[in-house]
Structure 1
């Protein structure tokens, strides 16, 4: 972006589709130093003085960023993207330029789940047209907040408060500036709005800034948030300095850390006396005013150094200029103060965002639906996420559709344990006189059963399916013993696709059912003599038996008769 050019206003689109909870915009110079942006302009081109700074606002879809530009045909040297003041009024590093016409801007935005939950949140403060904010809010931290965000929302955009301003009072009734200043101590937050003239409001970038015409807002709602980040920091560095120490270091503070690796770098001051004693205020990123009274602490940083600009010591009289200033145009003179009795606090930190996770072995058992949360590839959920868990198919529980909420405690804990999911298992399908060929006892699993050797299938199911209530389909098979040679036919179920096995069974049945002539009853009776107890059968048997015996005797006699006759004849001759 460049001051007073066609790039004095840029619009960056984000994809949140909701208002970010926090937006950070920075301007990086060619020297490599990074300067924070403002939530509102405190200068316009009617003063005919050089001024600079980056101003931004945002909504549900866009972030608009502006730098100074001509609206009233002023001097060419009047506008700057970043300005750290004239050497005659502001003290700072000698070797750094004071005016940067061109810069590179970077915007970062966070959703509510991207940050740790705030330790305290104020009620909304409504500001109507003509109201002036001079408000004290009591927070609940009992210590200095590590971080404060003040948001102001009007009908179509949001802008943020800032700690300090280099403007103490309006130069004319047409001096356009605005914004909300804030500071905090261990118990309270104080808010100031720009008041007193017609050109002042909650937000202003109406004259002398890039953008679509006059941008200002005189009404809206203010919300403040405070954090205690002690439990949410992965790394942290802080350094306290007096004004004398900063001047002794040539306004360049070397930090033994790589500042660009931290998520947040901040320089603030703490007031050590007067009406705002112990209150801390964030520094700012550019000089917008050098007309008395003026003041403030401007800072920028690179990877290893923090650069600081404050009013010159020879003019810091507490009337013309001071390091800390709340001028008459803020809050109708509420807690007005100018002082140099302050300490400077440099803080850098990495913030760990609490998240709730789900282990991979648990995921296998659950159906998880997200109500209002983002699920990362690692199954991490942001604080405030609400999910509903139920057991997947194949598991059962006494609880269904259990809601869990991610809480911030211990850097992320669920509000309750997930429901207990028990895998559905059917019992062992083995019954008497059977064998289990194969079985899967999980939901939808199949048990393949056969009758034991020597037993035949009578009834029941040989193929059974495990149901979601943990029971088998059908009824248990019944197998009874075989009293004749027992084939395996019917004892083992056949699947429809097992055609070869089916053919073998059919052949076996044919063999079993075929009739052999030699094995009929009639044929067997012809070959077997059996006892007949009837009387007639006994008489017939006796006659036939006697006859057979007589016949056998006669046959023997007849066969020996010639020999007998011969013997008789021989005996006669001898006699």
Structure 2
């Protein structure tokens, strides 16, 4: 079992994907009113491994839009925008929809880009139903790779981070969570850039942009102007709310996601598609929107980010007639997904500009591949996993450390975990260029580990990268055949005693149960435990930190 310590509480990951621990009731939010903000008490007790916001029009149950990790627009410009921004901690999830602060009242809960973006329909809803789903770490299978890294906005070229996961194949699932400063608040990374061309020092916008391939996770931090790691300020919720400029990344990667496989499909979209792709239908049976998990990714097929996967999003935040922006917007239902693409003349499916990561790996491209994966939840984890998703448990026992929580990183093999434009940080010393990682008073999120992960046949073996106390072996219990025990007892007693009494004692010993038992039973328990692990190959890994 994989154990994490989050805010002093042991947290274990699971062996498969299960239904969310918490699902809220439906709440109606309305933009530009006092109903533009809500808080949901999930009471999971630990920082969630996954939070999903489901946004549905009041009169259209077949269009569920996901929430958005950060605002990239405020109310300073007279142009429409939309979405539901969210953040969370170990007790609550807070959501915001647009509400004028000191500018224009153009924001709505749902917005698909009007006539500027191409899609199956135009949607601009001021009111919508919102539901929150929360998965605890035990609801997800153990990640194959996890790491942390400190981040800071406005650092120029140092605002780009490249992490080596080294799994050798494109992961089925990746999460990037951002802890806000020294607080317990968390927001999620994004895969789009929709900032306005008129962004200035007075504009509020933010986000952590990421993408991944078979060996790396790339992360772009806002590097110029007023960009933040997270923003819900100036045009969201009932007050000005917040921006956050420093924090810690928590990255988790699943090589194979052990869920009940429901759907998997790829399709060419963008400039090389024969037509504009607006919908994709699931195969039967229906997708469980109450318990299932959906991954919609855009794979770049050219340019400096070729073969990297960017996550799609749930709302349009820029539909201006000029200026460049990018991303892919989607909604889903039990039967399929709907897609909205940016304008071809100045919008892009893959877009990274010089306001992010100091301009590292800039790209403006409409050549892409749509990649959709969906899993329904297991009610009971299978005892054996499908061949393509088999996770072989390591033989290493629990790794323990009494060291204080620190900002640390882990990676498969011995490769560097992070590089910033040609510079690398070594294991357990992840840092910004020119800076040394320091002790962090905040404990790591579930999924962060101080151990080196070594991929073995689709699973992980754990190589301890810090000193730990050796296990103590205190006793032994071995079952032998009764006759072997008898003969050994006879020979021993005859040699020592050489008397008839020895023979009598021997006979009495033979009539016993034939079990030689040491005084201490602790080692017996451990030995039997090893046997059990050997038999039940689906047993989960064990880490503790």
TM-score normalised by the chain length of structure 2: 0.62
Asked if 1:70 corresponds to 2:82, the answer is no
The root-mean-square deviation of aligned C-alpha atoms, in Å, is 3.0
* 5+ long unaligned stretches in structure 1: 358-395, 417-575
Q: 108, 114, 137: which one pairs with 1:80? A: 108
Q: 339, 342, 359: which one pairs with 1:333? A: 359
Per-residue Cα deviation, 1:461-493 (whole angstroms, up to 9, x for no partner): xxxxxxxxxxxxxxxxxxxxxxxxxxxxxxxxx
Distance 1:259 1:249, change over 3 A: farther
Structure with the bigger RCO (C-alpha within 8 Å, sep 6+) is: 2
Q: 40, 52, 57: which one pairs with 2:87? A: 57
Tell me the residue number matched to 1:39.
69
**C-alpha displacement of 1:59:** 1.2
Q: 245, 251, 258: which one pairs with 2:278? A: 251
Asked if 1:116 corresponds to 2:141, the answer is yes
Tell which deviates more after alignment, 49-58 or 328-337.
328-337
**C-alpha displacement of 1:327:** 1.7
> Of the two, which has the highest radius of gyration?
1
Tell me the residue number matched to 1:297.
328
Distance 1:19 1:355 in 2: 22
- Contact 2:301/2:369 (8 A) holds in 1: yes
- Contact 1:169/1:328 (8 A) holds in 2: no
Tell me the residue number matched to 1:103.
128
Tell me the residue number matched to 1:456.
none
Tell me the residue number matched to 2:206.
178
Tell which deviates more after alignment, 203-212 or 343-352.
343-352
Tell me the residue number matched to 1:149.
175
Per-residue Cα deviation, 1:255-296 (whole angstroms, up to 9, x for no partner): 223223561122211111110000011101111012311121
Aligned residue for 1:344, secondary structure, equals strand
Tell me the residue number matched to 2:338.
307
Distance 2:190 2:534 in 1: 27
TM-score normalised by the chain length of structure 1: 0.59
Tell me the residue number matched to 1:503.
none
**C-alpha displacement of 1:114:** 1.4
Asked if 1:135 corresponds to 2:166, the answer is no
- Contact 2:153/2:227 (8 A) holds in 1: no
Per-residue Cα deviation, 1:234-275 (whole angstroms, up to 9, x for no partner): 223211111269774761222223223561122211111110
Q: 216, 239, 249: which one pairs with 1:188? A: 216
Tell me the residue number matched to 2:191.
163
Distance 1:166 1:186 in 2: 26
Aligned residue for 2:304, secondary structure, equals helix
Q: 401, 404, 413: which one pairs with 2:539? A: 413
- Contact 1:168/1:328 (8 A) holds in 2: no
Aligned residue for 1:42, secondary structure, equals coil
- Contact 1:242/1:343 (8 A) holds in 2: yes
In the TM superposition, 1:194-343 aligns within 5 A as: 194-197=222-225, 199-229=226-256, 232-243=258-269, 248=275, 251-257=278-284, 258-261=286-289, 263-291=292-320, 292-313=323-344, 315=345, 320-343=346-369
Higher helix share: 1
Distance 1:408 1:48 in 2: 65
Distance 1:322 1:328, change over 3 A: same
Asked if 1:399 corresponds to 2:521, the answer is yes
In the TM superposition, 1:422-441 aligns within 5 A as: none
**C-alpha displacement of 1:233:** 2.9
Aligned residue for 1:237, secondary structure, equals strand
Per-residue Cα deviation, 1:19-54 (whole angstroms, up to 9, x for no partner): 112211121123220111111111000012100011
Tell me the residue number matched to 1:436.
none
